[in-house]
Amino acid sequence: MILILFALIIYAFLLLGAIVFLACVLLPPTRRFALSAAFWVALWGPCTVLLMAFAGIGLVAGSALMNAESLQWTNAPKVLGELGWSYLIVGASITSLVTTSVAWLHQKLIHRVTFALFSVYASAVSAGIGSVLGCALGWWLAAKEHTYLGLWWWPLATIVWAAGFGAVAHKTTRALRGKAPTRFTWITPEEFAGSEEP
């Protein structure tokens, strides 16, 4: 049951990341940050699961220690409540720092690869984002269709949306690219733009 909960949490953040990707793509000034913004949101899923796992391990270990030593801790609920909020604040702060650092590094790196490599990467990631959105749509359609046919909505919607998003991203890669970096880059402007001579 816990593994299903963890999977749902990760999927929820993936879905939120897919929505952020769509919002960034629809707003031209933020379009070049769409992949990194979606990545930033999606990273919160695994980090949240890790925080929950560490908290669970800590509670189990603390309970076992108290039972082993037969301790009487009358203020346990109050102390645990205060520790819980502290843990939540510290965990969210660390998660924010980690996700922001990784997303910043991701943004810097993907803008320093050749156009062909970026095109493949953007298409693959967009197909993954499409599959997440298609999966959500498929579940919704399957929930509304109570017949055997409803079970086909989930895989069908996932495949169609993944293929569609991947194809659109491949054709519109330049829109996700932005401007060529001018500092600390190892590719030429021609390689960045995909206009180098054969």
Contacts of 70 (CB under 8 A, 6+ apart): none
Measured CA to CA, the distance from residue 181 to residue 171 in angstroms comes to 22
Give the mean pLDDT of the chain: 82
Model pTM score: 0.79
Please give the angle made by the CA atoms of 10, 16 and 18, to the nearest 5 degrees. Answer: 105
Residue 62 has pLDDT above 70, yes or no: no
Domain ranges of the chain: 1-68+75-110, 114-198
pLDDT at 197: 45
For the stretch 70-87, pLDDT in tens is 544 444 555 455 567 778
32 touches 45 (CB < 8 A) = no
pLDDT class of 53 with cuts at 50, 70, 90: confident
**Intra-chain end-to-end CA distance of the chain, in Å:** 56
pLDDT at 158: 87
For the stretch 121-177, pLDDT in tens is 999 999 999 999 988 888 887 777 766 666 677 788 889 889 999 999 888 888 888
Residue 185, judged by CB atoms within 10 A of its CB (0-12, 13-18, 19+), counts as middle
